[in-house]
């Protein structure tokens, strides 16, 4: 029973909520009307994911200590790295420089790299957990369907985002600046 709880907590945490939080941040921030809602939704997903992940990690540690002679080393080590990276991400929330700070780009690289690493490690470890638990095929199939759905949503939003970004860039590049209203509603000067 505890194995199932461990699996469910970590699947919901690292396998669903965390990727959903990344999707929210990646695609909603493109739209100015979504600011600052996207940020709070992103943080809410990630903090919820971490909280559930703490419970999942704790049950995993307890299971490991109760299972003398049974070692799932790869699953365990991936889980430890995953939890460590997730803890680093929580610190990122408190150590984030303001947008125009000269080191913000370094923070962004760190934040994105660790975030995507958590997603990859989470998915790998969930499937390792499936191979350990041997649940009914419907559970693995359901999670695979959830991953496919998240991937399809991300792909769709990626296309939409690129369309929006390219339209913005093309709209800005064709307008000439004439010192008055940025080329919009320009009136010809009076000729005398």
pLDDT > 70 fraction of the chain, expressed in percent and rounded? 89
How would you class 99 by CB atoms within 10 Å of its CB: exposed for 0-12, middle for 13-18, buried for 19 or more? exposed
How would you class 108 by CB atoms within 10 Å of its CB: exposed for 0-12, middle for 13-18, buried for 19 or more? middle
CATH classification at residue 41: 1.20.120.1770
131 in any annotated domain:
yes
Q: Assess contact for 150 and 24: CB atoms under 8 A.
A: no
181 in any annotated domain:
no
125 in any annotated domain:
yes
Residue with tokens 């049950």: 59
Q: Give the pLDDT band of residue 173 (cuts 50, 70, 90).
A: low
Tell whether the model's pLDDT for residue 155 goes beyond 90. yes
What is the count of structural domains for the chain? 1
187 in any annotated domain:
no
Task: For residue 64, give its domain range.
Answer: 2-174
44 in any annotated domain:
yes
Q: What is the pLDDT of residue 70?
A: 74
Tell whether the model's pLDDT for residue 74 goes beyond 50. yes
Lowest mean pLDDT among 17-31, 117-131, 168-182: 168-182
123 or 188, higher pLDDT: 123
């Amino acid at each position: 029973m505890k194995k199932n709880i461990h699996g469910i907590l970590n699947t919901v945490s690292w396998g669903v909520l965390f990727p959903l939080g990344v999707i929210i941040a990646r695609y909603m921030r493109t739209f100015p009307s979504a600011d600052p809602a996207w940020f709070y939704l992103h943080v809410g997903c990630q903090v919820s994911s971490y909280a559930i992940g703490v419970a999942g990690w704790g049950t995993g540690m307890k299971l490991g200590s109760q299972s003398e002679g049974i070692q799932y080393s790869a699953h365990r080590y991936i889980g430890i790295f995953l939890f460590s990276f997730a803890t680093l991400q929580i610190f990122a929330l408190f150590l984030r420089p303001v947008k125009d700070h000269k080191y913000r780009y370094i923070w962004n690289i760190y934040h994105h790299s660790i975030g995507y690493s958590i997603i990859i490690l989470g998915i790998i470890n969930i499937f390792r957990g499936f191979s350990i638990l041997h649940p009914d095929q419907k559970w693995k199939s359901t999670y695979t369907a959830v991953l496919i759905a998240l991937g399809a949503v991300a792909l769709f939003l990626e296309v939409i985002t690129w369309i929006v970004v390219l339209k913005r860039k093309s709209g800005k590049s064709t307008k000439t600046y004439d010192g008055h209203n940025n080329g919009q509603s320009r009136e010809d000067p009076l000729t005398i």
